[in-house]
Chain A
Amino acid sequence: MPAMLEVNNVGKTFILHHQGGVHLRVLEGVDLVVEKGEAVVLSGPSGSGKSTLLRILFGNYRPTSGSVLVRHAGELVDIVAAAPRTVLEVRRRSLGWVSQFLRVIPRVTTLDLVTDPMLARGIDRGVARRRACAMLECVGLPERLWSLAPQTFSGGEQQRVNIARSFVDPPPILLLDEPTASLDAVNRDIVVDLVGEARAKGATVVGIFHDEAVRERVASRIVDVTGFTPQKAAS
């Protein structure tokens, strides 16, 4: 199986200039290869650097050292060294980020929110719209809400919008940042099913799940991040 993600000797130290210039060493010597079709779940206690590593994989945090190769358009691209526009292109086509938070421009309707990621990938507007509708139905969001902006929705409804938006057109690599953290049982099951569906279509998954049961259902491999935690890490 080809490697979809290849992390080589990645380290991350935060320098907090406004807190006495303290150096916060969070990760050291991270080596990790994720092959196509795998579902890797990062584990470790709070503060062990799971979230930091996941963000580095997405190109959101910039590692202090090392490289992160991501398979994009058939090639491995180092998103640490790549030009910003290359990173954006990798994210648009190959690398998806799913969190529990819906962070969007106010006033955009639910249907547009779910359609947008597909339009950005150049999918025809009509096709995108049909798939968006199907997805919203799948997550069980009442149709009367589709033409409204989700800011006024209940917490559960907003989560469904977020799930729909994230899984409507899953890219080859999915990074999941505790997407089930605050979901009720029904929504949690929907997410687990959708991850399964995405994997069945060939998606590769790396994620963080606090829920023991969900972790067991999703993971094909569990990676303990404490192995990458520096000995004298600040607590």
Chain B
Amino acid sequence: MTGVATMPADTGSLLEARLVSRRYGHHIGCEDVSFTLWPGEVLGIVGESGSGKSTLLRCLAGLDRPTAGTVAFRTGDCMTDIFAIPEQERRALMRTAWGIVHQNPRDGLRMSVSAGGNVAERLVDGGERHYGRIRAAASEWLTRVEIDRARMDEPPSRFSGGMQQRLQIARVLVSGPRLVFMDEPTGGLDVSVQARLLDLLRALVRDLGLAAVIVTHDLAVARLLTDRLIVMKSGRVVETGLTDQVLDDPQHAYTQLLTSAVLAA
């Protein structure tokens, strides 16, 4: 088992979490989580409901400030502690350097704005002021996530759950982030729709060299999408390693329980 705390600092790393903790009063959201993510890597965070996966993700993505520990993101040649910089700069990073695909599309989309407008937002946030170019980029990204261009001017409230998730992905990826956070990206979708989304994500991650942090309770999703896993229980990391190592040769009692429920079949 790879000890997370002893993982050597690497000059090329993209995201470094060091002893990240988030408490709600006496309740522990997550505690002492450390890991390093490199460009192009897909990291899965697995564990059952309430294990602190989503809390951790919110800290990593800059949405919630950890009560202790640091989250550092690569900006140029150096690593920037994203909670040590002014909120303004952090928000700018959140709009450009990384993106978040929320479990509930309503948290990640503007439901009253058209699909094209949703994709356009991150471009105009980045300073683009040319309608023709914005329109073309939005159209291209909708096609990439397999949304019919004819539906570009419809609001996402008219879309199916799978389409809303794909729209979220387009909205996030249009600005060319280096990292994407996903919270249960296939949650609440039919199995066939899930497969389509997984295929899309896999291709995008490969073609764009994206790094991703994916929170999921679905080990099948984790196996297909992720390179490495962090297993969480009661807010703490109980095991880490390559995805196939953790799933095929689980060391910790909790991981064995988690995997036996799936792989015994």
Contact = CB atoms under 8 A, between A and B. Distances in A.
A touching B, CB within 8 angstroms: yes
A106 B228 CA distance: 21
Contacts of A55: 248-249
Given A62-B1, A83-B8, A105 B199 contact: yes
Contacts of B242: 59-60, 84, 87-88
A16 B256 contact: yes
Contact of A107 (B199, B228, B241): B199
Interface range on chain A (Cβ under 8 Å from partner): 20 to 34
Given A84-B228, A107-B199, 15 more contacts: A16-B256, A17-B252, A59-B242, A60-B242, A60-B249, A84-B227, A85-B38, A88-B242, A106-B198, A106-B199, A107-B195, A107-B196, A108-B199, A116-B206, A119-B206
B244 interface: yes
A15 B253 CA distance: 9
Interface of B: 1-2, 7-8, 38, 41, 192, 195-196, 198-199, 202, 206, 224, 227-228, 240-242, 244-245, 248-249, 251-253, 256-257, 260
A232 interface: no
Contacts of A84: 2, 227-228, 240-242
Nearest to B246: A62
A112 to B, nearest CB: 8
Interface in A41-91: 55, 59-62, 83-85, 87-88
B164 to A, nearest CB: 19
A83 B7 CA distance: 8
A18 interface: yes
Nearest to B252: A17
Nearest to A91: B242
Interface in A104-132: 105-108, 116, 119-120
B256 A17 contact: yes
Given A18-B256, A84-B228, A85-B41, A106 B245 contact: no
B196 A18 contact: no
B119 to A, nearest CB: 24
A15 B206 CA distance: 36
Contacts of A87: 242
Contacts of A62: 1, 241, 245, 249, 251
Nearest to B196: A107
16 contacts: A14-B249, A17-B253, A17-B256, A55-B248, A60-B242, A60-B245, A61-B249, A83-B2, A83-B7, A85-B227, A88-B227, A105-B202, A107-B196, A108-B199, A108-B202, A120-B206
A53 B256 CA distance: 20
A61 B248 contact: yes
A2 to B, nearest CB: 26
A59 B227 CA distance: 13
Contacts of A119: 206
A96 B224 CA distance: 18
Contacts of B38: 85
Contacts of B192: 106
Contacts of A108: 199, 202
Nearest to B202: A105
5 closest A-B pairs by beta carbon, nearest first, are: A17-B253, A106-B195, A61-B249, A107-B195, A107-B199
A18 B249 contact: no
Given A60-B244, A62-B251, A105-B195, A18 B257 contact: yes
Nearest to A64: B251
B247 to A, nearest CB: 10
A8 B192 CA distance: 46
Nearest to A106: B195
Contacts of A120: 206
A177 to B, nearest CB: 12
A120 B42 CA distance: 14
Contacts of B245: 59-62
Contacts of B228: 84-85
A14 B255 CA distance: 13
B242 to A, nearest CB: 5
A60 B252 CA distance: 16
Contacts of B7: 83
A95 to B, nearest CB: 13
Nearest to B7: A83
A107 B252 CA distance: 33
A60 B195 contact: no
